[in-house]
């Protein structure tokens, strides 16, 4: 079972409440599917307004490249710039060290609409 | 999805299995980069049973083979192995293969993705000859040991140790391996390292896999197709569907050495390729090193002077060279070893410089 202190999207992002902002990352399942990670290109900038589904980063592995999306509407309040230099902490620890951006949600209800850990488990099991 | 005779071994070892040309194959067991480094420095064991294995038999088999393949099969002695193309009448590539000279047959190893098409094509072409095409893919298992320790490790399982040691690169022998007599052992591979490929009855597969790993100890580990792709690209070896296709001819791919225009060699595609040779190919395959941390991928546009001039065939991060590599077709005039390009990586222009192929060559 994955951590139930946060919510998930079917596209394998997670979002965790940290005060009035959400930390956003990708799941261990996404990391495993990508294989050896080589580079994280964080496209989002601090202060940028994003909509749910907007591209916030691209992640590269030896075999492929994948898009990472904003889980909801909001404003970017921080980016994990060191991961752009060295993506390894994300690969080692996607739920703890792997946060990619922090975002102040535009509405309070958006977080609750995401999948809880049990529902995400079913997505991954398919 | 089809399963190779080693499938249960991959599942037991926790390999990550994916659909590859209709086969359920391990792309990696642990890390692709670790597996690639292992093959450059030690030894890796690969399941290659998805590849097609075909025998051409009959009195006219050589003549038939010289019609099918671009390399000169009449010159092949027993125990010799040649890389070759199969072309269509337009001179573009249906497949790239290895052709083995045997006492009573021509043995051919083809790409998994093309096996059905190759069989149909070969069967059509042998109709005018006393020759038959026999598909051995289902009855033979195929695996490879690749890496500088391959000879040392394989010798532990082979009776004919001296013959193994003196077997030259791209040569075939028959030997006794783990109690199996008459096993085809070829000193070949798709990694740019020393290594061997073995062909034996499929019912022996799991036993042989486990015994090879046990005898190799910590010097040997199973490796997946992900590392094989990285290694072959470092070694400048083409992959069908990337550097080769029915849109590409072997001369632009730099494979002139595998196309023989001898008088007694009327292969399919010859007339078209003679025209290409006379005019010179319009484009050429080049090696590129991309700046920065992003990896070029198949299909990305290659630009020069503000215009699209070519496309990326393959790209990888190279653990051996610690660089991001790509192959690309560019106009012949620009394939000068000097001209620099930009690769469009999903909207970001990345500088790329030419470097001679292969990117990596082992010290022999």
The CATH class for the domain spanning A21-121 reads: mainly beta
Model pLDDT, residue B313: 98
Reported as a single tens digit per residue, the pLDDT across B264-275 is 999 999 999 999
Q: Minimal CA–CA distance to A52: which of A7, A3, A119?
A: A7
Q: Which residues of B touch A65 (CB under 8 A)?
A: 295, 297, 346
- Which residue is closest to A85 within chain B, CA to CA? B293
The partner residues of B92 in beta bridges, in order of sequence, read none
Of A32, A36, A39, the CB nearest to B294: A39
- Chain A residues contacting B, CB < 8 Å? 32, 35-36, 38-39, 41, 58, 60, 62-65
The model's confidence at residue A7, banded by pLDDT at 50, 70 and 90, is very high
Fold of B52-134: Alpha-Beta Plaits (3.30.70)
The model's confidence at residue B156, banded by pLDDT at 50, 70 and 90, is very high
Q: Which residues of A touch B297 (CB under 8 A)?
A: 64-65
Q: Which residues of A touch B32 (CB under 8 A)?
A: 35-36, 62-63
- Which residue is closest to B32 within chain A, CA to CA? A36
Domain coordinates of chain B in residue numbers? 7-49+138-234, 52-134, 282-355
Model pLDDT, residue A2: 93
Tell me, letter by letter, the H, E, C secondary structure of chain B.
CECCCCHHHHHHCCCEEEEECCEEEEEECCCHHHHHHHHHHCEEEEECCCCEEEEEECCCHHHHHHHHECCCHHHCCCCEEEEEEEECCCCCEEEEEEEEECCCCEEEEECHHHHHHHHHHHHHHHHHCCCEEEECCCCEEEEEEECCCHHHHHHCCECCHHHHHHCCCCEEEEEEECCEEEEEEECCCCCCCCEEEEEEEHHHHHHHHHHHHHHHHHHEEECCHHHHHHHHHHCCCCCECCCECCCCCCCCCCCHHHCCCCCCCCCCCHHHHHHHHHHCCCEEEEEEEECCCCCCCCCCEEEECCEEEEEEEEEEEECCCCEEEEEEEEEHHHCCCCCEEEEEECCEEEEEEEECCCCCCCCC
Cβ–Cβ gap B295/A41 under 8 Å: no
Cβ–Cβ gap A38/B16 under 8 Å: no
Domain coordinates of chain A in residue numbers? 21-121
Reported as a single tens digit per residue, the pLDDT across B49-89 is 999 999 999 999 999 999 999 999 999 999 999 999 999 99
Model pLDDT, residue B297: 97
Statement: B282-355 belongs to CATH 2.40.30.110: yes
3-state secondary structure of A8: strand
B179: left (phi over 0), alpha (psi -120 to 50) or beta: left
The model's confidence at residue A108, banded by pLDDT at 50, 70 and 90, is confident
Query: What ipTM describes this predicted complex?
Result: 0.82
Q: What percent of chain A has pLDDT over 70?
A: 100
Rounded to an integer, the average pLDDT of B257-281 is: 97
Reported as a single tens digit per residue, the pLDDT across B24-45 is 999 999 999 999 999 999 999 9
Cβ–Cβ gap A63/B32 under 8 Å: yes
Reported as a single tens digit per residue, the pLDDT across B201-247 is 999 999 999 999 999 999 999 999 999 999 999 999 999 999 999 99
Six-digit token string for B82? 């040649």
Residue A120 has pLDDT above 90, yes or no: yes
Q: Which CATH architecture has domain B7-49+138-234?
A: 2-Layer Sandwich (3.30)
Model pLDDT, residue A74: 97
Model pLDDT, residue B167: 98
B107 contacts: CB under 8 Å, gap ≥ 6: B53, B54, B55, B56, B99, B100, B184
Model pLDDT, residue B363: 84
Model pLDDT, residue B231: 98
Model pLDDT, residue A1: 79
- Which residue is closest to B18 within chain A, CA to CA? A33
Cβ–Cβ gap B226/A39 under 8 Å: no
d(CA A30, CA A64): 12
The model's confidence at residue A126, banded by pLDDT at 50, 70 and 90, is confident
Rounded to an integer, the average pLDDT of B109-126 is: 98
Q: What percent of chain B has pLDDT over 90?
A: 98
d(CA B229, CA B250): 20
Reported as a single tens digit per residue, the pLDDT across B298-346 is 999 999 999 999 999 999 999 999 999 999 999 999 999 999 999 999 8
Model pLDDT, residue A63: 87
Q: Judge residue B131's burial from the number of C-beta atoms within 10 Å of its C-beta, 0-12 exposed, 13-18 middle, 19 or more buried.
A: buried
Q: Which residues of B touch A63 (CB under 8 A)?
A: 27, 32, 226
CA B262 from centre of chain: 25
Rounded to an integer, the average pLDDT of B252-279 is: 97
Cβ–Cβ gap A35/B346 under 8 Å: no
> What count of other Cβ atoms lies within 10 Å of the Cβ of residue B79?
17
Q: Which residues of A touch B33 (CB under 8 A)?
A: 36, 62
Rounded to an integer, the average pLDDT of B249-272 is: 97
Residue B364 has pLDDT above 80, yes or no: no
The model's confidence at residue B95, banded by pLDDT at 50, 70 and 90, is very high
Q: Which of A34, A57, A63 to mutate to test the interface with B (most CBs of B within 10 A)?
A: A63
């Amino acid at each position: 079972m994955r951590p139930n202190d946060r919510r998930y999207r079917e596209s394998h992002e997670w979002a965790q409440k940290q005060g009035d902002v959400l930390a956003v990352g990708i799941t261990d399942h996404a990391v495993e599917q990508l294989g050896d990670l080589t580079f994280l290109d964080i496209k989002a900038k601090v202060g940028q307004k994003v909509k749910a589904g907007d591209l916030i980063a691209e992640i590269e592995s030896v075999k492929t490249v994948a898009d990472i999306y904003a889980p909801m509407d909001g404003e970017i309040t921080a980016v994990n710039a060191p991961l752009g230099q060295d993506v390894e902490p994300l690969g080692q620890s996607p739920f703890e060290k792997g946060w990619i951006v922090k975002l102040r949600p535009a509405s309070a209800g958006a977080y609750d609409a995401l999948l809880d850990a049990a529902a995400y488990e079913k997505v991954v099991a398919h | 999805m089809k399963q190779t005779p080693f499938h249960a071994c991959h599942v037991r070892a926790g390999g990550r299995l994916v659909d590859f040309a209709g086969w359920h194959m391990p792309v990696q067991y642990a890390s692709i980069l670790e597996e690639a480094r292992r093959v450059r420095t030690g030894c890796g064991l690969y399941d290659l049973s998805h590849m097609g294995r075909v025998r051409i038999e009959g009195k006219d088999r050589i003549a038939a083979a010289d019609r099918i393949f671009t390399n000169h099969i009449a010159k092949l002695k027993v125990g010799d192995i040649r890389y070759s193309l199969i072309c269509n009448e337009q001179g573009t590539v249906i497949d790239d293969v290895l052709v083995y000279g045997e006492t009573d047959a021509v043995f051919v190893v083809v790409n998994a993705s093309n096996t059905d098409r190759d069989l149909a094509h070969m069967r059509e072409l042998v109709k005018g000859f006393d020759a038959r095409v026999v598909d051995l893919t289902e009855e033979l298992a195929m695996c490879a040991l690749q890496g500088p320790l391959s000879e040392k490790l394989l010798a532990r399982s082979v009776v004919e140790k001296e013959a193994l040691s003196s077997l030259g690169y791209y040569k075939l022998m028959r030997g006794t391996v783990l109690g199996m007599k008459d096993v085809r052992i070829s000193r070949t591979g798709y990694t740019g390292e020393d290594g061997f490929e073995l062909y034996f009855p499929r019912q022996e597969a799991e036993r042989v896999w486990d015994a090879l790993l046990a005898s190799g100890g910590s010097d040997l580990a199973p490796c997946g197709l992900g590392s094989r792709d990285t290694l072959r690209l470092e070694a400048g070896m083409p992959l069908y569907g990337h550097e080769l296709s029915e849109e590409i001819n072997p001369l632009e791919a730099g494979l002139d050495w595998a196309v023989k225009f001898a008088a007694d060699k009327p292969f399919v595609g010859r007339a078209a390729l003679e025209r290409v040779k006379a005019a010179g190919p319009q484009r050429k395959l080049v090696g590129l090193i991309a700046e920065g941390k992003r990896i070029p991928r198949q299909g990305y546009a290659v630009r020069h002077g503000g215009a699209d001039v070519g496309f990326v065939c393959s790209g990888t991060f190279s653990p051996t060279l610690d660089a991001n590599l790509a192959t690309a077709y560019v106009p012949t005039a620009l394939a000068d070893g000097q001209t620099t390009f930009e690769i469009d990586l999903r909207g970001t222009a990345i500088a790329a410089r030419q470097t001679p192929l292969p990117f990596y060559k082992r010290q022999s």
